[in-house]
Structure 1
Amino acid sequence: MQDKLGGWEDTIVALATPQGIGAIGVIRISGTKAISIVNAMFLSKELGNQPSHTLHVGLLRNGKDVLDEVVIGIFKNPSSYTGEDIIEISCHGSPFVQRKVLDALVQNGCRLAKPGEFTQRAFLNGKLDLTQAEAVADLIASNTDASRDTAIKSMRGGFSKTLSGLREKLIRFSAMIELELDFAQEDVEFADRLQLQELIATLLFSTNQLLESFHFGNAIKNGVQVAIIGKPNAGKSTLLNTLLNEDRAIVSAIAGTTRDTIEEVLNIEGILFRLIDTAGIRAHQADVVENLGIDKSYEKMRMADLVLYLFDVNETSTAELTTVCQDFEKQKIKYVLVANKHDQQTEGTANQFANFKDLIFISAKQNANIDLVKHTLLSLAIGGKLNTESTIVTNARHYEALKKLSNALADVQQAMDNNLPGDLLALDIRQCLHYLGLITGEVTNEDQLDFIFTKFCIGK
């Protein structure tokens, strides 16, 4: 028989800590029978009589077989993560012991949880909205201060509060317009059109601000792919080593030393830059392996969020550099020009690149101006100072829904400008509410939930 959880009357169990040997392992059980199932295996106390949010030490048994000495944590509904009764068993961190405990719990009536099923139950039981639930996965996957701070803000309802404020104001006007339809023959207006215009303008501004934050949010969440491109012996591998402060790539005076791409991660003020050192680009050679490396360099260049074009300041002409810039702009590739070996620059080449905007002169070998390269990468990635206090969109699903919301709000604006009747205006406003509901989960379907929660780890 199905309940509001879509058939989840059963009690689920999963290992909540990572696989492998450790000091302890935590096994989580959630559902209507969580306490009774564990109580039958834990003879030290009657768990059903114990207060919520308490810990209890004793032996866990499966029949006559002692499984382990454990600590039992009790979290009773509705004051638990899922909104159901939850038991957390802290056992010793042997994979063998953990497996024995899990097997015993399944034998006694539990079902192994699916990925994200605990958080999905929290959402369906009203403990979290959908944006908060998705932020849980983002927090688990966070690997910088910025990504952690953004996820925590969303998980605690920062993004939800912003959207709820927009939605409540829109619902108020929607109700007034719907009421007008009931009195269509009297030709009355309950919704002040001027106030509605001001509200739509405010909502459109807020929505577009959220959309603009996605570029920054995507950089925080997924990092920025930077392809280091240039001719052989321009110093690409030396620059990579200098940025990373380690000898990651082989450096040689022999042209074509780098045959394949090398990828490393650099953290600049909380933003992860995925640096890709590529094979030097030049006319195809007789060496088949080098040609494959060159082809891969072009592929990485097209896939990158940003291209760092490195050239030897003493070996590159302004005409050649102009052609490179035109090619990047034609392909709509975001790039930064870096002139290497500035320490070896002759007087005759000192001013020839003056007309190239934002060109950076460095010496990768001497570690000169490397901080300027990092600052430029950060500026191009996030467009300004790193700030995670404001509401930031990091989720591609939210971004797509916000784009549709922006278009729907523009339709409402146009409808009011054209003095369209209330029934048509009401339809446009319902569309706006629909897209807001898609983000927070007021409007959803089973397929969408499955897609979102199957990306979670098991046990969360």
Structure 2
Amino acid sequence: MISHDTIVALATPSGAGAIAVIRVSGKEALSICSSIFKSVSAKNLLEQKSHTIHLGHIVDNKRVLDEVLVSIFKGTSSYTGEPTVEISCHGSTYIQQEIIQLLLRKGCRMAGAGEFTLRAFINGKLDLSQAEAVADLIASDSEASHQIAMQQMRGGFSNEIEKLREELMNFASLIELELDFAEEDVEFADRKQFKDLISRITNVLKRLIDSFAVGNVIKNGIPVAIVGEPNVGKSTLLNALLNEERAIVSDIAGTTRDTIEDEINIGGISFRFIDTAGIRDTKDVVESIGIQKTFEKIEQAQVVIYLVDSSQLTEDSVHELKTEIGKIKNKYPQKPLLIVANKVDKLDENQANYLTSEIGNILLLSAKQGIGVEELQSKLLEFVNTGALRNNETIVTNTRHYDSLLKALEEIQKVQYGIDNGLSGDLMAIDIRQALYHFGEITGEITNDDVLGNIFANFCIGK
């Protein structure tokens, strides 16, 4: 899988544009590009300094393909850790393909998905968690997901893991040494310091594991289901949140018969709102299917907005609403539930006060008039623990990292049990080795071609 030939790919999005960048990397990158580049000042690329840019033409025999700027990076002073050339040409798809085809004829090979970043990893420019953060950075579509990816790409997460791994490895070496002197019954590893280290590692691992719940929703967006009876204004609320006419609105109950989804950014966090079919007893087959999908979306959602029509509430219906709220909370105890009363523009002050006194934490709004929508957005943000973001703490967003952290914690807890119960060093050494193995999986110190293939297959070509 790992190759050291010279590769080429388009580094900018495919299609026509003002400028396109073609990236070439490998030991022959400079010589191949020098053979097709004619500088306007008659410079030889091979003789120029690294990190310089040169104006000239790409020439196929005597045919000039384009006027370009060529950036050169010599030796290991490049993104990939090997000689690299970037050709900035005009964005015509014809020009792009002509230059790439010419480079292929001169001895380059088309790069695979993520192959430039794979080479950066192999050549020690990035560890594996940083390499994965590159893909997350490219895919980031909100302030929060961008911040997390930048923090990980700069090595925040891997530095924290590497520090723990190094300290644990030092103690592991001392315990292994004790095994060599088992007959003398000596202790090279201070058990108190070792116990303190294991306790500290346990706390760090638990914090990182707990952060995944937040990191995962920030990375992928937070699904919010808008549910309620027909004609309470669910579609109107979705349109108000999105600030566009995304869902069909009418006075006819049961207009929405399927789920409608769209995503918006609130305070740097992506929220994916799901407008669902109204929940009621119906004999309409199509509407029944929509209602069934509503319950499926509630299962999938991170947050549920239960919308009611405040203008239709009476003392009896308020009592029924309380019962319904209780049922939802009992069925989904871990799922945040927002009770929202719509159409408050039709209420007087006494009616509004009655609702807030009878139903705790109810939010009053008018989706049609835009009243209370900003307050609803603020409430949604409260469900996301952004304190870690503000404090620049490490947040885990990668499922592979999460899995390795869980396995490492399991082994560390076995070591803790061994310390507490006075188990022999040889038994603890086995668990320590396994914990070190799982730490190494995260940073890529321990890996294989299959793992690398799965990771970099998700990258775009040219990165």
Q: For residue 248 of structure 1, what is the aligned residue in structure 2?
A: 246
Higher mean alpha-carbon deviation, 304-313 vs 341-350, is at 341-350
State the distance in 2 between where 1:410 and 1:134 align: 28
Q: For residue 295 of structure 1, what is the aligned residue in structure 2?
A: 292
Residues 146 and 388, structure 1, Cα contact 8 Å, conserved in 2: no
Structure 1 residues 278, 388: CA separation in 2 closer, same or farther (over 3 Å shift)? farther
For the pair 1:419 / 2:422, whether they are aligned, the reply is yes
For the pair 1:186 / 2:181, whether they are aligned, the reply is no
Q: For residue 125 of structure 1, what is the aligned residue in structure 2?
A: 123
Q: For residue 364 of structure 2, what is the aligned residue in structure 1?
A: 361
Q: For residue 317 of structure 1, what is the aligned residue in structure 2?
A: 318
Q: For residue 167 of structure 1, what is the aligned residue in structure 2?
A: 165
Instruction: Please point out which of 18, 22, 46 is paired with 1:23.
Output: 18
Structure 1 residues 247, 388: CA separation in 2 closer, same or farther (over 3 Å shift)? farther
Q: CA deviation at 1:207?
A: 1.1
Residues 226 and 305, structure 1, Cα contact 8 Å, conserved in 2: yes
Residues 318 and 353, structure 1, Cα contact 8 Å, conserved in 2: no
Q: CA deviation at 1:261?
A: 1.9
Residues 401 and 435, structure 1, Cα contact 8 Å, conserved in 2: yes
SS state of the match for residue 207, structure 1?
Answer: helix
Q: For residue 214 of structure 2, what is the aligned residue in structure 1?
A: 216
Residues 13 and 29, structure 1, Cα contact 8 Å, conserved in 2: yes
Structure 1 residues 383, 50: CA separation in 2 closer, same or farther (over 3 Å shift)? closer
Q: CA deviation at 1:254?
A: 1.2
Q: For residue 3 of structure 1, what is the aligned residue in structure 2?
A: none
Residues 312 and 339, structure 1, Cα contact 8 Å, conserved in 2: yes
Structure 1 residues 181, 252: CA separation in 2 closer, same or farther (over 3 Å shift)? same
State the distance in 1 between where 2:450 and 2:92 align: 37
Q: For residue 400 of structure 1, what is the aligned residue in structure 2?
A: 403
Q: CA deviation at 1:7?
A: 4.5
Residues 318 and 352, structure 1, Cα contact 8 Å, conserved in 2: no
Structure 1 residues 344, 134: CA separation in 2 closer, same or farther (over 3 Å shift)? same
TM-score for the superposition, normalised by structure 1: 0.94
Question: Deviations for 1:162-199, whole angstroms, at most 9, x for unmatched residues?
Answer: 11111111111111101111101100000011111111
The one-letter amino acid of 1:213's match is S
Question: Deviations for 1:273-310, whole angstroms, at most 9, x for unmatched residues?
Answer: 00111111111233x33233222222222221221111
Unmatched 5+ stretches in structure 2: none
Question: Deviations for 1:388-436, whole angstroms, at most 9, x for unmatched residues?
Answer: 6111111111111111122211111111111000001111111111111
The one-letter amino acid of 1:435's match is H
Q: For residue 145 of structure 1, what is the aligned residue in structure 2?
A: 143
Residues 222 and 302, structure 2, Cα contact 8 Å, conserved in 1: yes
Identity of aligned residues (%): 52
Structure 1 residues 384, 88: CA separation in 2 closer, same or farther (over 3 Å shift)? closer
Higher mean alpha-carbon deviation, 90-99 vs 297-306, is at 297-306
SS state of the match for residue 390, structure 2?
Answer: coil
SS state of the match for residue 40, structure 1?
Answer: helix
Q: For residue 45 of structure 2, what is the aligned residue in structure 1?
A: 47
Residues 379 and 385, structure 1, Cα contact 8 Å, conserved in 2: no
The one-letter amino acid of 1:429's match is I
Q: CA deviation at 1:320?
A: 4.1
Q: For residue 340 of structure 2, what is the aligned residue in structure 1?
A: 338
Q: CA deviation at 1:345?
A: 4.2
Q: CA deviation at 1:10?
A: 1.2
Residues 344 and 352, structure 2, Cα contact 8 Å, conserved in 1: no
State the distance in 1 between where 2:429 and 2:389 align: 40
Q: For residue 440 of structure 2, what is the aligned residue in structure 1?
A: 437
Higher mean alpha-carbon deviation, 329-338 vs 189-198, is at 329-338
State the distance in 2 between where 1:169 and 1:57 align: 51
State the distance in 2 between where 1:176 and 1:248 align: 64
State the distance in 1 between where 2:198 and 2:450 align: 31
Q: CA deviation at 1:65?
A: 2.6
Q: For residue 279 of structure 1, what is the aligned residue in structure 2?
A: 277
Structure 1 residues 349, 93: CA separation in 2 closer, same or farther (over 3 Å shift)? closer
Residues 249 and 262, structure 1, Cα contact 8 Å, conserved in 2: yes
State the distance in 2 between where 1:257 and 1:391 align: 45
TM-score for the superposition, normalised by structure 2: 0.93
SS state of the match for residue 17, structure 2?
Answer: coil
Aligned residues: 454
Q: CA deviation at 1:385?
A: 7.7
Instruction: Please point out which of 443, 447, 450 is paired with 1:447.
Output: 450
Instruction: Please point out which of 194, 198, 201 is paired with 2:196.
Output: 198
Question: Deviations for 1:237-267, whole angstroms, at most 9, x for unmatched residues?
Answer: 1211222233322222111112222212121
Unmatched 5+ stretches in structure 1: 1-5
